Structure 1
């Protein structure tokens, strides 16, 4: 049995548990550190303990899958808050070289984010000053990069000058200097890839846009990748919390010598060319990256492969994309440029032909599209698909569904019952969280329950017991409504909780009786 030692990006289920759940549907063993050393949100991990754990775990393994953000900064949020010097960061990452020199046969797969510049005034995961100046910092980032690459209008030049006066210099300096250090570590990681320390490196762009600090840093890194002649082992594309799943799938395919082909079909003619919200490139280019990074290939025709990925895509760029809002309030393109009925009937037809069908539900952000999911339920297809995801960003969704799809496709037709069982559990786990919670229950609670508790999206700690009780009741009801008649049996959900004590995500255990 091959063993993979996995150091996650942080302690949330999407990073800590999802790759382990994928591993359960394989004959690979995944070893992770105890949660106690991984920190909590803004509290960084015990990085000394993390390094020691990694050194000890490497003694009898075949593969390391390492989050450099965790190894160096103590997690994804601490990577945005730290005051470490570049020298200290390099000292922390040097453990990878120590491991490679001691165990040269180990394959090291690593990932490290290009730090995000969110366009909002929230300090939930950013420095405290972001609450007051976040939107200004984003716009400053956007306009300074645009001025270097293209040209600014007179109004934009005045706005940039005004921003330089509005943003306190110490805050801008803090934000930029941290990026300099983080970017230094990214370039150091490229050198480790050149030197053969890191065998496979992915640099995900965490919440980025067409212009900005992230875009500028990406360009420099891609140029450096070309200079070092390491394009065969480095990828840079939008993503973040799905990357553990993606890279585990890649490792799985390497170990199994498996290179599946996937046909991608869109619900919108415009879909392949749309730039999704929080990303800097067309959807089809992102999908190429996710499929390649996961260990597969895209094929030109559906008849060439048994694997069909249906991408429920937006038909409008960026700001026009719908969040979880009423259908009637969406951009008009959702009514004219997305064909719900035809997409579902096409899925039904692929299934009739015996193909495996997965659904990447990215037409809306931060949850699946209830319109499509209700139609799938009407057609009796919710328990017929092989894989599904529809959470947070387009990249998060695609990396999750593609990695699951690839892994289970290897076993189809020959799998033992426990492998199929674990795959179905993961599939329904995604339906329950991405569609039922994020699209339905969370919206219901935000509108109808939190106001009377004097609570909000990020403020539920003072009434956590009441919110837990409401969550459990509404989840049970919604699961019964949408998944009460699945072919595998009865879904049971336990240990519902909020990992970061906010409404954004939930954690839970799922069983099928």
Structure 2
């Protein structure tokens, strides 16, 4: 009996020794110093949500940018617009001390994205903004003003009330979009809709696009004058055929008629990720770096798949974002700066059955020394359609990933992955020492875990549970929480659940495995010895979270 018990005890003893050895090796490593931020840039964000502000700050740090944003008292807060006058004064005071200014026109004119969807700006108010930008440039001629503006989405403004009328306006928009594209439509249905929609609602709806078109033409003129160094026009929550696409076509024709270079005025799909992609483009322009990006897909259906809330397919979206950051698609995988591995699964089309093969492919690419930016999309926003759980099960070394994104729409996720991966690869090209290369990698690992913890653990697992719990308690509108009654409770649920995920996640081999890096400044190995998070709901709704991870990283 004693002999039978001895073997398990002996195994436990050696396991303990092995773990102790691993801990000693990790502890014996050198703590990686923080990234030095020696480049200053201003950001007037689209709104105060983390994707529009915090993502830019965290990703900018990878490339050494100190991204400064306006004080919180000037920022918008959910439905409360920002202080546009205060924001303009802040820009005037701070622009001289920075290398560039990333400016959301929607924030400067309306007070943020949500305000822009509802508020109107008169021609005089538009002209006042145009004159402000002219003066800002005149006062700071050496500081590039990089502006972005968002086309209205086709969803009717909240001030247009009535379920049926809003539904009719959406149907009307789709038919008008098809008609403008030269496609045949049901003319009787279009006539019925025009009769059913009240003249007041129709006029209000169409005037919103006309106002935005006139504003964007004035901004394009500022590019021609040299006031704006670059202008990016984004399309929020698009569809293939809609009235926003009519406005977009008008603007495209106007840009062509003004003979403006394609890199000066850019039309793109998406909104929240635009500031981050513009920062990556600015970094590439400053360093002369043109990232060579190889596109790989999890399934042969993925390139032509159109994901929810998108007007174009995945391949076109990726190519659009590559162009936006000043990169180039390459067919040479071995010499690519990184591989954009685009996974977009849909269980209804049986693409999920190839996931294990995809994981093995990622392992093989990593073993070859390839940098991989993984976009992990899900048609139904479910964990079962993503690659991450299989990567965890297979002990894939997550810290070797150059980027990860699976948040919200395809344009948001693809743009975020491409931009952060480009900031990282660009920074590593110009690092002055092996120690700096380590700090760049450590900053990248921080942003990597931010994205994994939010995009997978919260958005694919926790959000539905929290929403369901709130609704069971009688709170029907999880997009507009009552701060006095359920916001604290919702935060408690969020923190309890996410801390539970974190406790298991950081003990996986996928996180604890040593990550080996090959850089121009030399090779090194990094470990994540511990990982903590700070998180909360930034706005009174469950749609997004504020999450900042702190990985404790040591090097050998």
RMSD between aligned alpha carbons? 2.1
1:376 aligned residue: 391
> What corresponds to 1:473 in structure 2?
496
Aligned residue in 1 for 2:449: 428
1:94 maps onto 2:131 in alignment = yes
Please say which of residues 168-177 and 50-59 is displaced more in the overlay.
Answer: 168-177
From 463, 470, 476, the counterpart of 1:442: 463
Alignment deviations for residues 298-336 of structure 1 (CA, whole Å, 9 cap, x no partner): 11121122411100024xxxxxxx5xxxxxxx4134356
Distance in structure 2 (CA, Å) of the matches to 1:465 and 1:109: 38
Tell me, yes or no, if the aligned pair for 1:368 and 1:434 is still in contact at 8 Å: no
Instruction: State the 1:354 CA deviation.
Output: 1.0
Q: Is the 8 A contact 2:405 2:416 kept in 1?
A: yes
Provide the residue aligned with 1:500 in structure 2.
539
**Separation in 2, partners of 1:306, 1:23:** 19
Which residue number in structure 1 is paired with residue 474 of structure 2? 454
Deviates more, 1:131-140 or 1:68-77: 131-140
Taking the aligned partners of 1:365 and 1:49, their CA distance within structure 2 comes to 41
| Counterpart residue number, 1:349 | 364
1:136 equivalenced with 2:155 (yes/no) = no
Q: C-alpha offsets along residues 387-446 of structure 1, whole Å, 9 cap, x if unaligned?
A: 101011000101111111111112448434433222111110000111000001112223
2:304 to 273, 295, 300: 273
1:236-275 map, 5 Å = 236-275=267-306
2:315 is matched with 284
| Alignment check: 8 A CA contact 1:367 1:434 kept | no
* 1:213 corresponds to: 243
Question: How far has the Cα of 1:56 moved from its partner?
Answer: 1.2
Structure 2 counterparts to residues 180-199 of structure 1, below 5 A:
180-199=210-229
* CA separation of 1:50 and 1:305: change in aligned 2, threshold 3 A: same
- The 2-side partners of 1:511 and 1:132 are apart by 48
| Structure 1 residue 508, shift from structure 2 partner | 2.7
Q: Is the 8 A contact 2:307 2:379 kept in 1?
A: no
CA–CA distance in structure 2, aligned partners of residues 341 and 148 of structure 1: 44
- Find 1:226's aligned residue among 249, 256, 260: 256
What secondary structure, in the 3-state scheme, does the structure 1 residue paired with 2:312 have? coil
Q: Decide which structure has the larger Cα Rg and report it.
A: 2
User: Partners in 1 of 2:382 and 2:124 — Cα distance?
Assistant: 40
- C-alpha contact 1:368 1:391 (8 A) present in aligned 2: no
List runs of 5+ in structure 2 lacking aligned partners: 1-37, 513-527
Cα distance in 1 for residues equivalent to 2:419 and 2:384: 21
CA contact (8 A) 1:344 1:376 kept: yes
The residue that corresponds to 2:30 in the other structure is none
Q: CA deviation at 1:353?
A: 0.8
Distance 1:369 1:293, change over 3 A: farther
- In 1, Cα distance between equivalents of 2:82 and 2:259: 34
Write the distance in 1 (CA, Å) between the matches of 2:241 and 2:167.
14
After superposition, where does 1:132-171 map in structure 2 within 5 Å? 133-153=165-185, 156-171=186-201
- Work out the number of aligned pairs and report it: 488
**Bigger shift: residues 247-256 or 169-178:** 169-178
Change (3 A) 1:309 1:130: farther
**CA displacement at 1:79 relative to structure 2:** 0.9
Structure 1 residues 63 and 459 mapped into 2: Cα distance closer, same or farther (>3 Å)?
closer
Pick 1 or 2: higher relative contact order, CA cutoff 8 A, min separation 6.
2
Q: Distance in 1 between matches of 2:163 and 2:458?
A: 27
- Aligned residue in 1 for 2:46: 9
Residue in structure 1 matched with residue 418 of structure 2 by the alignment: 402
CA deviation map 1:238-283 (0-9, x unaligned): 1100111101111111222211111110011121122222222222
Matched residues in 2 for 1:365 and 1:390: separation? 12
Task: Name structure 1 gaps, 5 residues minimum.
Answer: 315-321, 323-329
Contact 2:294 2:332 in 1 (8 A): yes
Shift of 1:48: 0.8
SS in 2 for 1:272: coil
1:96 deviates by 1.6
Alpha carbons of structure 1 residues 444 and 181: separation in structure 2 relative to 1, 3 Å: same
Q: Partners in 2 of 1:298 and 1:130 — Cα distance? A: 46
| Residues 56, 438 of structure 1: alpha-carbon distance in 2 compared, 3 angstrom cutoff | same
For the pair 1:297 / 2:294, whether they are aligned, the reply is no
Deviation for aligned residue 1:26: 2.3
Q: Alignment partner for residue 88 of structure 2, among 51, 57, 63?
A: 51
